[in-house]
Structure 1
Amino acid sequence: MSTAVTITAPSVKHILLDSLVVMKIVKHVDSELHAGISEVSGDACAGVLTGLVFLEDSRLEITNCFPTVRNEPVIDDDANTPQAAQQYEEQKQQEMLDMLRKFRTMNIDYEIVGFYQSHQFGAGFSHDLVESMFDYQAMGPENVVLIYDPIKTRQGQLSIRAWRLSTAALDLASKNDWRPELVKSAGLTYQNMFEELPIIIKSSYLNNVLMSELALSKSYSSDKYSTRHFDLGSKKSLEKSVRAMMANVDELNKSIQSLTKYTIDKQRHDNMVFSLTQKRQQENESRLARGDPPLPMDDIKRIKAPQLQTRNGLLDELLASFDTNALADFSKTVTSENITKLFIAEAVAEEKVVGTKDRTLSSVSSTR
């Protein structure tokens, strides 16, 4: 991350997402799934978003996108591993520039306005993702990231959410310093680290007419009472989300222990420095009274302060908390929907049983 970056507050308040972008993202994830490149969740699918920024309307319009090259594994025994990685990055950048040049030739919006990634359950916020978000927002303050949830989409609900780093998080990311003191002074928590923007999906007029005709057609109306809407089908996804939540909670518990130890050591260090400073000041006052030169304070200032025993300060803890919150929201939504479906299915089953009994009684009475 660069340290010489001017933080500019974004002015975009909502996003107008073209339906073409939605179809491309869904097709990208599903194609890698069916090709066996990715797992069931469709992780690691990413791409670049292009569009336009309308400052007068505080609107970001995303009109097109294209996938980026997947990272290839590097062999550890290769002697030219750094050179190979650098060559791969250069090739990746060249392919991106070529695609943008083709967009420009075809008179398509070629201005980069962010990127998209697919993550199961809408989570997956990592240190690499924060670095990518910082790089894009440093390039343009209006840039965003779209997080696509393939699992929820395959369950019948399209899930695409737009995020960006808050101004306080951008400031800390520019310094690449996530010490507890700086995070506390910035008032940063996992709740205000990211900002979510509302998304409006834009469709063409012909598409709207087609959807209206499908809604009014007899085949659609006869199928809307189908029992497939009562299918739960979320046991595996709910189990995975709970397991991921448990892993995040375990990491948070370890981080809390490290933070507690750091707080105790920091308080002990501050008390020791304060007592030594007071003692040195009293000694200097006595030396000045005797006409002797005062002693310097450099040796006290050079006392090494304790360090938080984590890789990236509080960044990993903030991301784990945000991931846990996203997983909890997914579990809450799925559970509430399943409970509603169970109650509806129970009511429908009771109604069918009552109707069957009435028909049986009527047939018996008619035979008599």
Structure 2
Amino acid sequence: MATSMAAALAASLPAPQAASAPVAPVHEPIPASMSKLIDIEVEISLNLVQLEGLVVSKIIKHCSESHSSVHGLLLGLDLDGTLEVTNSFPLPHSTGDDDEKSSKTTSRYQNAMLRALKEVRADDSVVGFYQSTTMGAFFSQTLVDTQAIHHEKLRHGGIVVVHDVSQCNRGNASFRAFKLLKEFLEAYRKTPFSAKSMINHKLTFNSIMQEVPLKIRTNPLLGSFISTLSERRPTSLTQPLPSEVYHTSLSPLYSTLHLGNPTLTKNLENVVEAIDNYKTEEGNLAYHTRQIAREKARAEAYVAKRREESANRVAQGLAPLPEEDVSRLFKIPREPSRLDSMLLLGQVDAYAKTLEGTSGLSLVKMYAARAGTDANREVFQ
């Protein structure tokens, strides 16, 4: 009975069909621009640095609120040769009393900020640093060390955006982007920077960093909002007109029309101070060079005397004197690094270029004012 019911049930089921062959998936061709992004092995050169308007505002605010040099981190995305910087945050300013303690504090603060940005799904990929400067002189040992240490960790070795506060005070938003050159990195890994190493790598202060084109992308909505900013002012009228109650808070600046240049004296002082620092560093290098030459001369004289005594003993039929390790008897100092001297030369060059620009602008203003005065004098005569 059970067998007949199973046979009837099997007869009622549909006949099994042959398994169909699997359909091969169809892949669409990847565009050439996207293939570079997908293949992480492809090395795309950095062609442009693009700053968002929000990043520019944050950097200007941070630099204007401090009376000393400040720095911070840049966050963004590398997209087909364009480094888009979409966010930034400042780093704590170290006083220099305890470098190890301040370094740990900065590291903890940086990690906490990156975790917080990641939690809110914001850009948390570090692409470089920003630093404030005055009158274009941004070369420093700290900047070079920071860039060189993080070169292997960041895309394209990381970039540094330099903001000139002195230009910002005159109404000019001065932003420049730089990255370290490969030739300098090779010499940096073979420290110290001796004269021979600098000659072999053809290093000067112009070959430390390469400037990268920089573009600032503004938001039309942000521009419209700034243009409509207004503030209330007191009035004695009972029903004043709207134009009498509000006025724009972004009033025009007429400082560019002033004949005097208050930064010219400060610029000259910076040039003189940078030259004095360079001469002091050159004096220290000359002193160390003389010390090295003196110790080498003593070692060579000792070796020559030992060789002469050994030759006399051999002539007398005696055993020669045993060889001695001269490096243990004479402590010859290592050649000092010339990196500080090269960076000081870069500061002198930056101050000189800024002085050339400011003095040239002042001369143009003075000639224009003189021409206007002469024209008015002729009219009244």
Normalising by structure 1, we get a TM-score of: 0.70
- 1:23 is aligned to 57
- Which residue matches 2:359? 335
Deviation at 1:195, TM superposition (A): 2.2
- Pair 1:161-2:176 in alignment: yes
Asked if residue 66 in structure 1 is aligned to residue 89 in structure 2, the reply is yes
* 1:76-115 correspondence to structure 2 within 5 Å: 86=101, 89-115=103-129
Aligned residue identity for 1:241: N
Matching of residue 121 in structure 1 with residue 135 in structure 2: yes
Deviation, 1:159, is 1.3
CA contact (8 A) 1:12 1:142 kept: no
Amino acid at match of 2:377: V
**Per-residue deviation at 1:131?**
2.2
1:127 maps to amino acid: Q
Contact 1:152 1:158 (C-alpha < 8 Å) held by counterparts: yes
Match of 1:192 in 2: 207
Which residue, 294, 306, 321 being the options, matches 2:345? 321
8 Å CA contact 1:47–1:66 kept in 2: the answer is yes
Give the drift of 1:337: 0.9
Structure 1 pair 345–257 and aligned structure 2 pair: CA distance change class (3 A): same
For residue 242 of structure 1, what is the aligned residue in structure 2?
Answer: 268
- Aligned counterpart, 1:218: none
8 Å contact kept, 2:299–2:326:
no
Distance in 2 of aligned mates of 1:63 and 1:210: 20
Counterpart residue number, 1:253: 279
Distance change >3 Å, CA 286–CA 188, structure 1 → 2: farther
SS class of match (1:50): strand
Specify which of 330, 334, 339 is matched with residue 303 of structure 1.
330
Equivalent-residue separation in structure 1 for 2:308 and 2:83 (angstroms): 63
Aligned partners of 2:254 and 2:106: how far apart in 1?
47
Secondary structure of 1:137's match?
Answer: coil
Measured after TM superposition, the shift of residue 328 of structure 1 is 0.9
1:344 Cα offset (Å): 1.8
Q: Deviations over 1:170-205 (max 9, x none)?
A: 334445523444334433222212222221222235
1:279–1:331 Cα change, 3 Å: same
Q: Secondary structure at the match of 1:139?
A: coil
- Report Cα offsets for 1:40-85 as digits up to 9, x if no partner: xxx232211011223x43x3221211112233676xxxxxx79xx6
Give the 3 Å change call, closer, same or farther, for CA 320–300 of structure 1 in structure 2.
Answer: closer
TM-score with structure 2 length normalisation? 0.68
Structure 1 partner of 2:38:
none
1:351-362 counterparts in 2 under 5 A?
A: 351-357=375-381
Residue equivalent to 2:71: 46
- Structure with bigger gyration radius: 2
Shift of the alpha carbon at 1:354?
3.5
Q: Does residue 171 of the first structure (1) align with residue 195 of the second (2)?
A: no
- 2:84 maps to amino acid: E
TM-aligned CA deviation for residue 327 of structure 1: 0.9
Structure 2 residue runs of 5 or longer lacking an equivalent are 1-42, 228-250
Give the match for residue 231 of structure 1.
Answer: 258
2:260/2:362 contact within 8 Å kept: no
Matched, 1:201 2:216: yes
Q: More helix by proportion, 1 or 2?
A: 1
Overall identity of the aligned pairs, in %: 25
Structure 2 SS opposite 1:254: helix
Q: Distance in 2 between matches of 1:208 and 1:227?
A: 21
- Give 1:362's aligned residue: none
> What corresponds to 2:373 in structure 1?
349
- CA distance in 2 between counterparts of 1:288 and 1:168 reads 52
Indicate how the Cα distance of structure 1 residues 284 and 204 shifts in structure 2: closer, same or farther if over 3 A, else same.
farther
Contact 2:170 2:256 in 1 (8 A): no
C-alpha contact (below 8 Å) 2:311/2:320 kept by paired residues: no
Give the corresponding residue for 2:46.
12
In structure 2, relative to structure 1, the CA distance for the partners of 1:287 and 1:27 (3 Å cut) is same
**Equivalent pair of 1:288/1:294 in contact (CA under 8 Å):** no
Structure 1 residues not aligned, in runs of 5+? 1-8, 33-37, 75-80, 213-222, 358-368
**Equivalent residue in structure 2 for 1:139, among 138, 147, 153:** 153
Distance apart, 1:279 and its partner CA: 7.4
Over 3 Å counting, the alpha-carbon distance change for 1:202 and 1:286 in structure 2 is farther
Q: CA deviation at 1:331?
A: 0.8
Q: 1:301 to 1:70 in 2, by over 3 A?
A: closer
Aligned-partner Cα distance in 2 for 1:300–1:288 = 25
CA distance in 1, matches of 2:222, 2:376: 38
Q: Distance in 2 between matches of 1:104 and 1:355?
A: 69
